[in-house]
Amino acid sequence: MADPIKIEDGAHSHLGPSSAERWMNCPGSVLATQGLPDSESFFAAEGTAAHTVSEWCRALNVRASQFHGRTLVVGAHEIAVDQDMVDSVQTFVDYVNEFPGEAWYEARVCYDEWVPGGFGTADDIRISDGLCVVTDFKHGKGVQVYAENNAQLKMYALGVYQQYRHLYEIKTFALNICQPRLDHIDAWEISAEALVAWADEQVKPAAAKAICAGAPFSAGAWCKFCKLKYSCETRDRWAVTQMVGEFENLEAGVQKIETGSVVASSTALLPRILGVLAGVRAWCDDKEHQAIALLQQGLEVGGWKMVEGRSQRQWAFPEAEMTPVLRTAGLSDEQIFTRKLNGPAKIEKLLGKKNRLLATHVTKPPGKPKLASPDDPRPPLTIDVLKEFSDLGVEDSDE
């Protein structure tokens, strides 16, 4: 078996594309998070590994299957290149290779004409005949990402414009998201003129604020990956405000929640409430995780404690030892074991996404209806379809 390959993660700009939504909306977070340690999750490391394999495939002109079974070490994580990753990478590579023109893979682009020290790494760039295609590879499947007005994609395009406008007359940028594990590809176009106007009017002022002490803080969906999310009072105040309205200080806001003095809202306010639910839920989860982390360190959290949760009984011996014991007790194998057909998701990992058996033997029924914001690009369901579902709960998954 081949030795694991260690992958070194590249340098990152404090005003980079991947965090553009955050620093443009909350410029105060930039200086406040400098020097704080990074904590890369397994999923982030998995994404880095998939991007690395995709770069090898394009640079060497080989298929992703060439790297099946290899192990990549990203930080503290060992990532196996399994069939799922091979399929994801190959889908992305096949997609971008359809675009003509000069190509750049995992290319560093700078946009410091608008953002001091601003740069990022674009996954795939193709330039031809006045058109530049910028594609961002999303290996993850936790959140579906869309291309329209995507700040990260526009920052990559801005970097391409700054570096290559003297060599190419780029009139239009086609900005694409390729998210294979969600079977999702999304595209959106913006003219070079509109891109530069956005940079002048929005990016440059936000960057100027972000590099100055005393820049304002603002909470929202962009807090999700911020290093301050557990200790940011602005975020705390924002979340409590959504629940109780205005208050004198944070303690007074919490007291409103404790006493149940929150005024019931009418349906007229429902759209506004729905718009902040995701952010408030994320804040609630983060506060619980923060408390657990403090308790695990032996610190006090106002009397809150960790207790033993409910558990289920299990055999005290491994299956190989329990099986003959149960047979001796007079039970048949049909009584001892339960056989269950694995779902398509698990079989797909074994056979590969493009296996013909999956194409002819798998069906995908309509998903359970769920709420979506007005700016969600998916078309609304008809009333007749909604009536088919009597229990509108959490969306199911086959994972």
Q: 233-266 pLDDT, tens per residue?
A: 888 888 877 766 665 666 665 665 555 555 555 5
Which of 37, 33, 83, 35 is closest to 63 using CA atoms? 83
Which of 280, 239, 232, 275 is closest to 256 using CA atoms? 239
Question: How many percent of the chain have pLDDT more than 70?
Answer: 87
Q: Residue 383 pLDDT > 70, yes or no?
A: no
- Determine the pLDDT at residue 399: 38
- Determine the pLDDT at residue 242: 72
Residue 284 one-letter amino acid: C
- Please, which residues have CB within 8 angstroms of residue 134's CB and are 6 or more apart in sequence? 122, 124, 125, 153, 156, 157, 160, 173, 174, 175, 176
What gap in Å lies between CA 217 and CA 158, rounded to an integer?
Answer: 25
What gap in Å lies between CA 133 and CA 156, rounded to an integer?
Answer: 11
Which of 174, 206, 178 is closest to 192 using CA atoms? 174
Tokens of 358: 């999956």
- Determine the pLDDT at residue 112: 94
Which of 60, 138, 129 is closest to 95 using CA atoms? 138
Greater confidence (166 vs 279) lies with 166
- For the stretch 286-299, pLDDT in tens is 888 888 888 888 88
* Angle CA 279–285–288, to nearest 5: 140
Cross-strand pairs, 110: 119
What's the gap between Cα 395 and its chain centre?
A: 18
Q: What is the chain's mean pLDDT, rounded?
A: 85
What gap in Å lies between CA 194 and CA 196, rounded to an integer?
Answer: 5
- Across the range 93-98, mean pLDDT stands at 95
- For the stretch 2-58, pLDDT in tens is 677 877 766 778 899 999 999 999 999 999 998 887 777 888 899 999 999 999 999
What gap in Å lies between CA 239 and CA 258, rounded to an integer?
Answer: 15
- Determine the pLDDT at residue 246: 61
- For the stretch 328-368, pLDDT in tens is 999 999 899 988 888 887 788 788 777 888 888 888 887 77
- The alpha carbons of the chain give a radius of gyration, in whole angstroms, of 25
* Angle CA 276–367–143, to nearest 5: 45
Outline which parts of the chain fall under CATH 3.90.320.
5-210
Are 124 and 75 in contact, with CB atoms under 8 Å apart? no
Greater confidence (107 vs 274) lies with 107
What gap in Å lies between CA 346 and CA 363, rounded to an integer?
Answer: 15
Which of 51, 77, 46 is closest to 64 using CA atoms? 51
Confidence of residue 375 (pLDDT cuts 50, 70, 90): confident
SS3 category, 126: strand
- Determine the pLDDT at residue 207: 95
Are 119 and 108 in contact, with CB atoms under 8 Å apart? yes
- Across the range 175-195, mean pLDDT stands at 95
Confidence of residue 300 (pLDDT cuts 50, 70, 90): confident
Handedness of CA 132, 133, 136, 141 (dihedral sign): positive
Are 137 and 177 in contact, with CB atoms under 8 Å apart? no
- Determine the pLDDT at residue 338: 85
- Determine the pLDDT at residue 296: 82
What gap in Å lies between CA 167 and CA 132, rounded to an integer?
Answer: 12
Report pTM: 0.70
CATH class for the region spanning 5-210? alpha beta
Q: Residue 113 pLDDT > 90, yes or no?
A: yes
